[in-house]
Homo-oligomer: A and B are copies of this chain.
Amino acid sequence: MKIAVAGYGNLGKAAVRAVLNSEADELVGVFSRRSAETLGAGENIRVFPFETIALFAEEIDVVLNCTGSAHDLPETTPFIASYFNVVDSFDTHAKIPEHFQSVNKAAVMSGKTAVISVGWDPGLFSLARIYMESVMPSCRTYTFWGRGVSQGHADAIRSIDGVLFAREYTIPAEEAKESLRKGRLLNLPQEKLHRRVCYVVEKDGADREKIREEIINMPEYFKGYETEVNFISLDDFLLEHKSMAHAGNVIALRKGDAGTDRLEFLLSSPSNPQITAGILLAYGKACVRMNRKNEFGCKTVFDVRPVDLFCGAKGKETELL
């Protein structure tokens, strides 16, 4: 398939790698608001201005939209869906219904297919949750994130006055996880299943105690969590906090007549962008297959049949049964 990548941040770069590593697919190019020179994408990768994407109608089967999540996707995905099949990794949970509506409107009008909120959470973890809740309707599902970096939490810290750089590690409560694995149901809110460790580089003369207070009391992001704030030098920040590793688990327990059933899904990756890009590419190709069957409009991972996601030869999926 002919695949374009929009945006060239960490995820966009990983998406380009994923397409180049896939023998069955061809990279049309990268569409970015930045100039080819600034991007440094390498000589063999064509870079085009984002605004010109509509001119490539005949040349693109699907666009992997890797423009920044919190701000850009609500505009860029509906725009792209007006011309192309598209996937994104929109992850602002509360705004998914709204995003769905605007992407759906665009995709229905253009006769294209979009899948939004693709990645590992939302994405693979959402799938784990829906399958577990479906086959064990009375179960309780627990989601653990980490140990890994949360870009959203780092962004939230950076928005505080006096902060230059920030990094946040989400760390799951291993004891809670082990209790669940022994079949013991827990009555703990999500905040008690994780703690948050932050590394902050402050601006010259900034008030550390004030920054710390603002962080630990920030609603939704930190309030209620056990939060550790460390102030470090810029040198240490650049040296010691480069890892993009992430991990997580979804664990479901169901007390049945014969005892407690447990299902668990687990992910571990040295590179959050690498694993997310692979998932985006797979769902991008699913978009194209669904579009060819006239399944237009906006979808989530819940609407995609596993058979439409599978990239192997037709009929080969029977071997995986």
Contact = CB atoms under 8 A, between A and B. Distances in A.
A44 to B, nearest CB: 16
A302 B311 contact: no
A137 interface: yes
A219 interface: no
A317 B244 CA distance: 30
Nearest to A96: B321
A270 B122 CA distance: 30
Interface string A132-164: 011111100000000000000000000000000
Interface stretch (A171-179, A198-206, A272-280): A272-280
A278 B309 contact: no
Nearest to A316: B133
Interface in A243-292: 244, 254, 256-271, 273-275, 278-279, 282
A227 interface: no
Nearest to A251: B266
A45 interface: no
Contacts of A260: 270
A263 B320 contact: no
Contacts of A303: 305-307
Nearest to A265: B265
Contact of A130 (B14, B124, B135, B310): B310
B320 A279 contact: no
Among A130, A274, A305, A306, the most chain B Cβ lie within 10 Å of the Cβ of A306
Contacts of A263: 124, 265-267
Among A97, A259, A278, A309, the most chain B Cβ lie within 10 Å of the Cβ of A278
Contact of A306 (B96, B127, B275, B307): B127
Nearest to A138: B21
A261 B270 contact: yes
Contacts of A301: 306, 321
Copies per assembly: 2
Nearest to A266: B264
A276 to B, nearest CB: 9
A52 interface: no
A82 interface: no
Contacts of A306: 127, 130-131, 134, 301-304
A267 B271 contact: no
B311 A137 contact: yes
Given A130-B309, A302-B321, A135 B258 contact: no
A117 interface: yes
A21 B311 CA distance: 39
19 contacts: A21-B138, A93-B321, A124-B135, A126-B320, A127-B131, A130-B306, A130-B307, A134-B309, A256-B271, A256-B274, A258-B270, A258-B273, A258-B274, A261-B269, A262-B269, A263-B265, A302-B317, A303-B306, A305-B305
8 A-B pairs closest in CB distance = A259-B270, A258-B271, A302-B307, A264-B266, A129-B320, A302-B306, A134-B309, A261-B269
